[in-house]
Amino acid sequence: MIPFLDLKNINQQYREELIASCTRVIDSGWYIGGNELEQFEQNFANYCGVKFAIGVANGLDALILTLRAWKELGKLQDGDEVIVPSNTYIASILAITANNLTPVLVEPDINTYNLDPKKIEAAITPKTKVILPVHLYGQLAAMSEIMRLAKKHNLLVLEDSAQSHGAQIDYKKAGNWGDASGFSFYPGKNLGALGDAGAITTNDAELAQMLKALRNYGSHEKYKNLFVGVNSRLDEIQAAMLDVKLKHLDVEVNHRRTIAKMYLEGIKNSELILPLSDIDASQYDQHVWHLFVIRSKNREELQQYLSENGVQTLIHYPIPPHKQQAYKEWNDLNYPISEKIHDEVMSLPIGPTMSLEDVKKVIQLCNCFKV
């Protein structure tokens, strides 16, 4: 069986380092809000090229708390509109509605699966206050165009970088384009903890201060609460685990790029649409290949065929947000590009410990697939 992602093998590579770090935390007697968190926040901020990283409990909280912080700072109010891609993972949208803000779904580009800048401007109204681009599957959204539009219309930009640690355009990384960026360190993400964790990156000192209060009961100073905050902290053990894994992230991403290049060069089957099909090859190395997503009109058959031949695949994602029961009020709306994507996408195995032999097997199977 070729697994979709072998988390056990991935973490096994760093077993000794992880155990040493874990032991250090256990022996320190200090488990929340200490040196481990501070060090990881500094190292992750440096990695992204920004001034501040603020650790929180998970990626969803990173997005929720950033929007909440902007409300506390008077930059947003209830009912303001947030532009978000219609094909994103549900978390990006939950963060908006959790703050009594209004999501405005905008269709993605069918080739990149990211927000189509041409469609953003048409969606802007006097109530629009934020663009929330999602760097889906490991590739940055068209950030130069998005930042130009944001400047022109005086909008805030919150990147959802949960799938794109280290992805870049012109050497500027995810997390360093918008006013702020939310990251997830869920175990299966490119930079994954051994449990839940997340962070916000920003160059805005005022926002960073507000986020540090909001994640800790709304308190900058013990027992003094200026805001109605939450408990959303990144604990010392997870910060220590992440600091170990951050050191190896670029090597892992390079292996993902090697696999992606093999798939892109090796898979030749007119039934399958490969990623970046319409895009300049120089962009391959800007992508961090969190997922290698192909499309097929016969996805169910393809998935079954690969499964029968020992290859595990996943669908990211089977149901678009506007068709979810949680958002019943949108169920009758039409987002044809998004619906097409959700009907056709399938993710092939890719990961930092996948063997090149296994990659070749997957390529061969894909090339032999017939309807």
Ligand X SMILES: *Cc1c(COP(=O)(O)O)cnc(C)c1O
Neighbours of 316 (CB within 10 A): 18
DSSP state, residue 316: S
x-or-dash string of contact with ligand X, 51-70, rule CB under 6 A: -------xxx----------
Count of residues near ligand X by CB under 6 A:
15
The yes or no reply on residue 92 touching ligand X (CB under 6 A) is: yes
Of 196 and 358, the one with the shorter C-beta distance to ligand X is 196
Of 94 and 262, the one with the shorter C-beta distance to ligand X is 94
- Rounded distance, CA 238 to CA 256, Å? 24
Task: Identify the active-site residue in 189, 268, 340, 370.
Answer: 189
Which residue in 65, 91, 191, 350 binds ligand X (CB under 6 A)? 91
The yes or no reply on residue 40 touching ligand X (CB under 6 A) is: no
Of 113 and 359, the one with the shorter C-beta distance to ligand X is 113
- Rounded distance, CA 106 to CA 108, Å? 7
The yes or no reply on residue 286 touching ligand X (CB under 6 A) is: no
Q: What does the angle CA 198 – CA 260 – CA 105 come to, to the nearest 5 degrees?
A: 50
Of 256 and 302, the one with the shorter C-beta distance to ligand X is 256
Of 61 and 252, the one with the shorter C-beta distance to ligand X is 61
The yes or no reply on residue 114 touching ligand X (CB under 6 A) is: no
| Cβ-proximal residues to 237 (8 Å cutoff; 6+ apart), any chain | 22, 25, 31, 36, 194
Q: Which of 185, 183, 167, 199 is nearest to 41 (CA)?
A: 199
Tokens of residue 348, six digits:
């092939």
Annotation says 189 is catalytic? yes
Closest distance of CB 89 from ligand X, Å: 4
Please check whether residue 40 is in contact with residue 32, taking contact to mean a CB–CB distance below 8 angstroms. no
| Cβ-proximal residues to 37 (8 Å cutoff; 6+ apart), any chain | 55, 233, 234, 235, 236, 239
The yes or no reply on residue 186 touching ligand X (CB under 6 A) is: yes
Stretch of 36-44, 88-96, 232-240, 347-355 lying at the interface with ligand X (CB under 6 A): 88-96
Residues 124-143 that bind ligand X (CB under 6 A): 134
Closest distance of CB 190 from ligand X, Å: 10
Of 137 and 267, the one with the shorter C-beta distance to ligand X is 137
- Torsion 276-279-282-287 (CA) sign: negative
The yes or no reply on residue 190 touching ligand X (CB under 6 A) is: no
Closest distance of CB 350 from ligand X, Å: 15
Q: Which of 213, 210, 28, 62 is nearest to 132 (CA)?
A: 62
| Local structure of 96: helix, strand or coil | helix
x-or-dash string of contact with ligand X, 148-167, rule CB under 6 A: ------------x-xx----
Closest distance of CB 96 from ligand X, Å: 12
- Rounded distance, CA 82 to CA 67, Å? 10
The yes or no reply on residue 198 touching ligand X (CB under 6 A) is: yes
Closest distance of CB 228 from ligand X, Å: 21
Which residue in 66, 99, 139, 184 binds ligand X (CB under 6 A)? 184
Of 63 and 267, the one with the shorter C-beta distance to ligand X is 63
Residue with tokens 């604990």: 235
Please check whether residue 136 is in contact with residue 162, taking contact to mean a CB–CB distance below 8 angstroms. no
- Rounded distance, CA 87 to CA 42, Å? 32
Q: Applying CB under 6 A, which residues contact ligand X?
A: 58-60, 88-89, 91-92, 134, 160, 162-163, 184, 186, 196, 198
Query: Hey, which residues are catalytic here?
Result: 189
